[in-house]
């Protein structure tokens, strides 16, 4: 995860939204709002609590290079 932060592929999640088959997360990249979608099985495989991601998106980061969500180290 540290290398992703250095390389700039890790972004703080600003918000999230429930979709039919998963969750879409929104993040800022160079001041522009972008998004990445994850289905529920992907989140389960990543050991991410989908409800917590929806209720507390600021606790998470997304690595767009490897398509993963991480809990922030706060």
Q: Is the pLDDT of residue 5 over 80?
A: no
Domain 2-71 part of CATH 1.10.287: no
Domains of the chain, by residue range, sit at 2-71
Burial label, 9 (beta-carbon count in 10 A; 0-12, 13-18, 19+): middle
Q: Which of 5-14, 41-50, 54-63 has the lowest mean pLDDT?
A: 5-14
Which residues touch 17 (CB under 8 Å, ≥6 apart)? 23, 24, 26, 54
pLDDT in tens, 14-27: 999 999 999 999 99
pLDDT in tens, 25-43: 999 999 999 999 999 999 9
Spatial separation of the C-alpha atoms in residues 16 and 58, rounded to whole Å:
9
């Amino acid at each position: 995860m540290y290398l992703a932060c250095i390389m700039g592929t890790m972004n703080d999640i600003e918000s999230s939204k429930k979709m039919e088959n998963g969750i879409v997360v929104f993040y800022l990249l160079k001041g522009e709002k972008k998004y990445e979608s994850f289905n529920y099985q992907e989140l389960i495989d990543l050991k991410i609590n989908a409800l917590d991601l929806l209720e507390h998106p600021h606790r998470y980061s997304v690595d767009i290079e490897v398509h993963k969500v991480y809990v922030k180290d706060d």
